[in-house]
Structure 1
Amino acid sequence: MKTARIFQRPKNSMQSGRSRTDMWLLEIEPERPQEADPLTGWNGGGDTSTQVRIAFPTLEAAKAHAEREGYAYHVVPAPERKLKLQAYADNFR
């Protein structure tokens, strides 16, 4: 049985807004670790299902999809946002 991870996309450190952080993503976890290719040395594997990432508008929709497809899933809670209030004058203290 495949295992899926459901989580919210974190805010990119290079962006100031919260665009696309409200979507829930379903990602299938690999069943076995990746192996190094003896010729190139790159990591890889034959399991292409780990490359699939599906976006859902709500957590309930992501859970329903995982149950419908027969995936065991676990939900990773979204990190709590910390608001850092800072004034421009604080740069010169």
Structure 2
Amino acid sequence: MPTARIFQRPKNAMQSGKHFTDQWQLEFEPAEAKQPDPLTGWAGSGDTRDQVRLRFPTVDAAIAYAEKQGFDYVVVPTPAKSLKLQAYADNFR
């Protein structure tokens, strides 16, 4: 039985926006290890569930989907967000 991981997407470090950070995402745990391709050297496997990422508006919707499909799931709690306030003058201390 496939195991799914449900988590809230973190903010992208390369952007200041918070697009899609309020949504929850369901990803499947890999069923087999990735092996290097002898021709290209890229890592890959025959597990196609690694490509599936489902988005849900709430954690309850993601859990309901996983239970309806019969998946085992783990909910990863969202880490607490801390805001670091800093003044421009702190650069010159």
TM-score, with length taken from structure 2: 0.93
Q: Which moved more, 1:14-23 or 1:1-10?
A: 14-23
Which runs of no fewer than 5 residues in structure 1 stay unpaired?
A: none
Which runs of no fewer than 5 residues in structure 2 stay unpaired?
A: none
For 1:53, the equivalent position in structure 2 comes to: 53
What's the C-alpha RMSD, in Å, of the aligned pairs?
1.0
Q: Secondary structure at the match of 1:68?
A: helix
Distance in 1 (CA, whole Å) between partners of 2:56 and 2:15 is 22
- Which structure 2 residues correspond to residues 16-27 of structure 1 after superposition, within 5 A? 16-27=16-27
For 2:3, the equivalent position in structure 1 comes to: 3
Distance in 2 (CA, whole Å) between partners of 1:72 and 1:64 is 11
Counterpart of 1:26, as a letter, is L
Shift of 1:39: 2.4
Q: Secondary structure at the match of 1:50?
A: helix
Shift of 1:14: 1.5
What is the CA deviation profile of residues 40-81 of structure 1, one whole-angstrom value per residue up to 9, with x for unaligned ones? 221111111110000000000000000111110001111211
For 1:75, the equivalent position in structure 2 comes to: 75
Equivalent pairs, count: 93
Distance in 2 (CA, whole Å) between partners of 1:37 and 1:44 is 7
Q: Secondary structure at the match of 2:49?
A: helix
Distance in 2 (CA, whole Å) between partners of 1:68 and 1:40 is 39
Q: Which moved more, 1:50-59 or 1:76-85?
A: 76-85
Distance in 2 (CA, whole Å) between partners of 1:63 and 1:80 is 21
